[in-house]
Amino acid sequence: MLTMPDIEFAPIQMKAETLDQINQALSRLDEGAYGYCLECGEEIPERRLRALPFAIRCKDCEEALEVAEERVEDRRLDGSSSGERQP
Ligand SMILES: [Zn+2]
């Protein structure tokens, strides 16, 4: 009797953000703009593309964006916790 190994299929949880990046990278591939930063137009280093094949921004622009997003998050956290401070 043949028994199948008990494989558990873990659902691949992909962030919508990641899917969006892949889609953007693919459309840029079509346009021939793949490998160039979406923000500043600089060529994204091959090393970065190998680590992050769907990178659409260079390291500098990506970091600048992350900092901007973190600031928004910080503001949200400040707003919700400033009223009730733990002693
Ligand atoms: Zn850039």
pLDDT tens by residue, 76-86:
776 555 555 65
Q: How far is the CA of 12 from the centre of ligand 1 (A)?
A: 30
pLDDT of residue 85: 61
Decide if pLDDT at 75 tops 80: no
Which distant-in-sequence residues (6+ apart) come within 8 Å of 24 by Cβ?
Answer: 38, 54, 56
Q: How far is the CA of 42 from the centre of ligand 1 (A)?
A: 6
Per DSSP, the residues of 37-82 read -TTT-PBPPHHHHHH-TT--S-HHHHHHHHHHHHHHHHHHHHHHHS
pLDDT of residue 15: 76
Q: How far is the CA of 50 from the centre of ligand 1 (A)?
A: 17
Q: How far is the CA of 34 from the centre of ligand 1 (A)?
A: 13
Over the stretch 11-64, which tens digit does the pLDDT of each residue have? Answer: 555 678 788 888 998 999 999 999 999 999 999 999 999 998 889 999 999 999
